[in-house]
Amino acid sequence: MPTAESAEPFVPERRSLPSLRAAAAGCKGCRLWAGATQTVFGEGTAAAEVILVGEQPGDREDVEGAPFVGPAGRELDRGLEAAGIDRRRVYVTNAVKHFKFEPRGKRRIHQKPNWSELAACRPWLDAEIELVRPKVIVCLGATAAQSLLGRSFRVTRQRGEAIAGEPLAEWIVATIHPSAILRQRDDDARHAERDAFADDLRAVARLL
């Protein structure tokens, strides 16, 4: 029987955010490391009360080596600001730490990570959560939500709701992925999606 791919053998015994980050830089726990520029590990303070979990780094993040620094990151920053949550006081990461894409000419088109890639990368996310011990985990989009809350979880049905999160955190809240705001076809739809995203983040702020 083939053994499942996993980051587990790369996760160090002695753990701190810097030691995890250094080890993750050399992770080959699944095939995604091969095509990407670098591991994009989580960023933020170990004292954070909130961990925000996205899907995977995008094109910009892959180049810069930091999570949510591209267009989706700007939408995330807007939402956090509207909710009165200081980005310097949260920890931001992704369910999968390498950019998965398909080359199309000069462009690199985002591809959704599959379940085995999510499972392979999960030890990093678990280690981050264990070290930070946040009060609230915010799942940004269906990938993070289904990874942490189960495959039958539907963001559309339970967005903004505080869900009991033990043993990971006191609460887990799921909302849309901020890139969904960018995909809206007109200004009205974009504003509505942006407002709804900020509302979900306000619900997070009330839990703190």
Q: Which does 171 bind (CB under 5 to 8 A by kind): ligand URA, ligand SF4, none?
A: none
Closer to ligand URA at the Cβ: 12 or 111? 111
Closer to ligand SF4 at the Cβ: 27 or 132? 27
Pick left, alpha or beta for residue 3 (phi over 0 → left; psi -120 to 50 → alpha; otherwise beta).
beta
The single-letter DSSP state of residue 184 is -
**Contact status, residue 157 vs residue 66, Cβ threshold 8 Å:** no
- Residues 71-90 touching ligand URA, rule: CB under 6 A, are 72
Q: Which does 94 bind (CB under 5 to 8 A by kind): ligand SF4, ligand URA, none?
A: ligand URA
Nearest distance from C-beta of residue 13 to ligand URA, angstroms: 28
Answer positive or negative: Cα dihedral of 194, 197, 203, 205. Answer: negative
7 contacts ligand SF4 (rule: CB under 6 A): yes
94 contacts ligand URA (rule: CB under 6 A): yes
| Exposed / middle / buried, residue 47 (Cβ in 10 Å: 0-12, 13-18, 19+) | exposed
Q: Tell me the two tokens of residue 157.
A: 């049905």
| Distance separating alpha carbons of residues 41 and 20, to the nearest angstrom | 9
Q: Tell me the two tokens of residue 113.
A: 């990570």
Q: Among 44, 57, 123, 165, which residue sits at the site for ligand URA (rule: CB under 6 A)?
A: 57
Q: Which does 58 bind (CB under 5 to 8 A by kind): ligand SF4, ligand URA, none?
A: ligand URA
| Distance separating alpha carbons of residues 190 and 176, to the nearest angstrom | 13
Alpha carbon 60 to its chain's center = 15
55 contacts ligand URA (rule: CB under 6 A): yes
Binding mask 98-127 for ligand SF4 (x = CB under 6 A): x---------------------xx--x---
- Residues 9-68 touching ligand SF4, rule: CB under 6 A, are 24, 27-30, 32-33, 39
CA distances to 57, 85, 94, 100 from 34, rounded to whole Å, are 15, 36, 18, 10
Nearest distance from C-beta of residue 96 to ligand SF4, angstroms: 5
Using CB under 6 A, list all residues that contact ligand SF4: 7, 24, 27-30, 32-33, 39, 96-98, 120-121, 124
Using CB under 6 A, list all residues that contact ligand URA: 54-58, 61, 67-68, 70, 72, 94, 179
